[in-house]
Chains A and B, each alone.
Chain A
């Protein structure tokens, strides 16, 4: 048995968890660990340019692959820089293991150089955290961290490692545990048959059902089961922002994303439904609008792996707490197509089609195209969809561009749409695209961003050069913090407080070129499609495509604050209430 130090045991334990990539940034408290990395070749360390990007990259990797993403940072500023990334992963339930160096045990609490209470700072944004108290416990803690990160409702786990715990001179026998005993952690057990029966009976009785699927279906790998259920019932399906791709967007039963900027037909269907089946979605405020006025006539079934998400916001008739795939299979075994109210559901689907025809997504856009001069942001996404045959991994930042991407790129597969839905973290797009590209080097990976967001992690262009990551960056450049501007237009009388850059934007083409990448600027609608094709076809180059879009475009539909799900603005001049 080869002896290990705490530092080498840590890296060996990662290798035993089949970790191939570790995103990070070195510093004093982590140096023993970095030395251990140098002396092995199973775990490759990726040097980013800012710790926030390390966490986002690991996060993108985790979202695209379904595996646990791993991060290594040093104490103090390294740890605090990682916090935004950890919070981002926490809000979207992404499995990560984040290892932070810490000052030596005897210095903890003395305000030592680069000391920060990582356990304390990260506590509200982790699923769990560990402080290493003896080097010998490292393999077991790593095992526990991985199990906790990926089972049940996934989430980030922090391991804080004081420097003396990784002392290369302190050696011990290494053994990686096969299983772990934890009296205080369990994953949800089986759902009782009676509950499945109740759910099935509601599904069979429904005349106006909606299947409302979220990120839990993606994380729970239950898309196939969802498709089967939709088919048996011929029921309309809507996806949340986090759930895009859980159900194919080009499927005839798909009615678009719902919520704040959901489609008119999806929000109307939620309002008029007589049964809502929430699958791995959590009735987040962006998808319910006013909970007091939320879908009052609908019976509700809620399937979620997190018991705490059930009845947190909306009371339900049947709660199904557990693994999405398992529970859906139980339902599929019980449900009988003969009992479905086919005639009513056909009428219901027609009603939804009518809604789509009145205010569907392309409706207002088509109107506009005839007298437009500038490129509309929506057209850029449509062009991107065409050039990538709808098959690319799309990461995004936060703002109007994110909503346009969500609305207009039709995701047919899970794990292809990667965005910070819960925390809404500007700066997420580029580093998460790096993580995806590492995992899928042969696939198109595109970051849809805005000139505001991209500048929050633009330093990663350098990382992309170092590791040869030919991601594509589509910058919907509206010369403003567009989403904020939209709110200022609508609620603050157009008083543009601090959203403009006064001619200080960089020349993104030159910027990209200075890092050794390809830059492109597109201003003319006539050349959009051709340049997009050109951009996507440069398989081994990072291309930064700076597209000047109409700065006055708003995202619609938009739910009216405090209203119900049918109260929307559908354009600058039209509203439904």
Chain B
């Protein structure tokens, strides 16, 4: 499994080129999240890919070839932090929800909505922690979940930033 960060042009079609590459070459994406960065001309995309080492290196090369892709970083190759955000909807009381959250340590949870007999909990943790939390829930009371997919960033000087533009004359 690899965790890949991609900086790409925030342009129509760019995302479909990246995603298309995966279906075209038969690679599997496990999770994917994408949004613009502090520079609105750039989007940052994080994906988790479950493939062997040799396939991952091929994926990195092919990603680099996509013209809209500015930078690619394999977070699995550098020291990095990662986390996932999830929202869960349960058919329980607020009191029961608080109890579940307390016992779910180390994952951080918080009630974010309570309507009729439904409670929504926000979770932040590693994706194993989110997995474990979801598994521990009573199936009858667990109604919906949405997960962000893993987000990640290299620590310290392991930046993923756009290098200056190259000027090509021809």
A residues apposed to B, CB below 8 Å:
119-120, 123-124, 127-129, 131, 146-148, 150-151, 153, 178-187, 306-308, 310-312
Are B24 and A184 in contact, with the CB atoms below 8 A? no
B residues apposed to A, CB below 8 Å:
8-9, 12-13, 16-17, 20, 24, 54, 57-58, 61-62, 64-65, 67-70, 162-170
Are B163 and A179 in contact, with the CB atoms below 8 A? no
User: Please, how many angstroms separate the alpha-carbon atoms of A185 and B17 in the complex?
Assistant: 15
- List residues of chain B with CB within 8 A of the CB of A181: 165-168
Are A184 and B68 in contact, with the CB atoms below 8 A? yes
User: Please, how many angstroms separate the alpha-carbon atoms of A178 and B168 in the complex?
Assistant: 9
Are A120 and B170 in contact, with the CB atoms below 8 A? no
User: Please, how many angstroms separate the alpha-carbon atoms of A132 and B165 in the complex?
Assistant: 22
- List residues of chain A with CB within 8 A of the CB of B57: 311
A184/B70 contact (C-beta < 8 A), A120-B16, A123-B17, A311-B57 known: yes
Distance between A123 CB and nearest chain B CB, rounded to angstroms: 5
Name the residue of chain A whose CB is nearest to the CB of B164: A183
Nearest 3 pairs of A and B residues by beta carbon: A179-B169, A183-B165, A308-B61
User: Please, how many angstroms separate the alpha-carbon atoms of A40 and B145 in the complex?
Assistant: 62
Distance between A476 CB and nearest chain B CB, rounded to angstroms: 35
User: Please, how many angstroms separate the alpha-carbon atoms of A150 and B170 in the complex?
Assistant: 10
User: Please, how many angstroms separate the alpha-carbon atoms of A180 and B165 in the complex?
Assistant: 10
User: Please, how many angstroms separate the alpha-carbon atoms of A178 and B62 in the complex?
Assistant: 29
- List residues of chain B with CB within 8 A of the CB of A146: 170
Are B24 and A124 in contact, with the CB atoms below 8 A? yes
Q: Select A131's contact among B13, B17, B61, beta carbons within 8 Å.
A: B13
Distance between B44 CB and nearest chain A CB, rounded to angstroms: 14
Name the residue of chain B whose CB is nearest to the CB of A187: B168
Are A179 and B164 in contact, with the CB atoms below 8 A? no
Are B170 and A183 in contact, with the CB atoms below 8 A? no
Distance between B12 CB and nearest chain A CB, rounded to angstroms: 7
Distance between A90 CB and nearest chain B CB, rounded to angstroms: 12
- List residues of chain B with CB within 8 A of the CB of A311: 54, 57-58
Q: Select B67's contact among A184, A306, A307, A308, beta carbons within 8 Å.
A: A184
- List residues of chain B with CB within 8 A of the CB of A179: 167-170
- List residues of chain A with CB within 8 A of the CB of B17: 123
User: Please, how many angstroms separate the alpha-carbon atoms of A183 and B12 in the complex?
Assistant: 17
Query: Can you identify 20 A-B contacts, CB atoms within 8 angstroms?
Result: A123-B17, A124-B24, A127-B67, A128-B67, A129-B13, A147-B168, A147-B170, A151-B168, A179-B168, A181-B165, A181-B168, A182-B67, A182-B166, A183-B163, A183-B166, A184-B67, A185-B166, A306-B65, A308-B58, A312-B58
Name the residue of chain A whose CB is nearest to the CB of B9: A184
Are A148 and B67 in contact, with the CB atoms below 8 A? yes
Are A183 and B70 in contact, with the CB atoms below 8 A? yes
Are A123 and B67 in contact, with the CB atoms below 8 A? no
User: Please, how many angstroms separate the alpha-carbon atoms of A312 and B59 in the complex?
Assistant: 10
User: Please, how many angstroms separate the alpha-carbon atoms of A76 and B164 in the complex?
Assistant: 39
User: Please, how many angstroms separate the alpha-carbon atoms of A147 and B70 in the complex?
Assistant: 17
User: Please, how many angstroms separate the alpha-carbon atoms of A120 and B165 in the complex?
Assistant: 27
Q: Select A182's contact among B12, B13, B168, beta carbons within 8 Å.
A: B168
- List residues of chain A with CB within 8 A of the CB of B9: 184
Are B13 and A119 in contact, with the CB atoms below 8 A? yes
User: Please, how many angstroms separate the alpha-carbon atoms of A423 and B149 in the complex?
Assistant: 37
- List residues of chain A with CB within 8 A of the CB of B70: 183-184
A180/B67 contact (C-beta < 8 A), A124-B24, A131-B12 known: no
Further pairs besides A183-B166, A184-B67: 5, Cβ < 8 Å: A123-B17, A124-B20, A183-B165, A184-B8, A185-B168
Are A307 and B170 in contact, with the CB atoms below 8 A? no
Are A307 and B167 in contact, with the CB atoms below 8 A? no
Which has the most chain A C-beta neighbours within 10 Å: B57, B58, B67, B70?
A: B67
A184/B65 contact (C-beta < 8 A), A123-B17, A124-B20, A179-B169 known: no
Which has the most chain B C-beta neighbours within 10 Å: A123, A131, A178?
A: A123
User: Please, how many angstroms separate the alpha-carbon atoms of A120 and B16 in the complex?
Assistant: 8
- List residues of chain A with CB within 8 A of the CB of B67: 127-128, 148, 182, 184-185
Distance between B34 CB and nearest chain A CB, rounded to angstroms: 16
User: Please, how many angstroms separate the alpha-carbon atoms of A180 and B164 in the complex?
Assistant: 13
A183/B62 contact (C-beta < 8 A), A119-B13, A146-B170 known: no
- List residues of chain B with CB within 8 A of the CB of A312: 58, 61
Are A307 and B168 in contact, with the CB atoms below 8 A? no
- List residues of chain B with CB within 8 A of the CB of A128: 67
Name the residue of chain A whose CB is nearest to the CB of B65: A308
User: Please, how many angstroms separate the alpha-carbon atoms of A127 and B21 in the complex?
Assistant: 12
Are A151 and B170 in contact, with the CB atoms below 8 A? yes
User: Please, how many angstroms separate the alpha-carbon atoms of A572 and B116 in the complex?
Assistant: 80
- List residues of chain A with CB within 8 A of the CB of B16: 120, 123
Name the residue of chain A whose CB is nearest to the CB of B13: A119
Name the residue of chain A whose CB is nearest to the CB of B64: A307
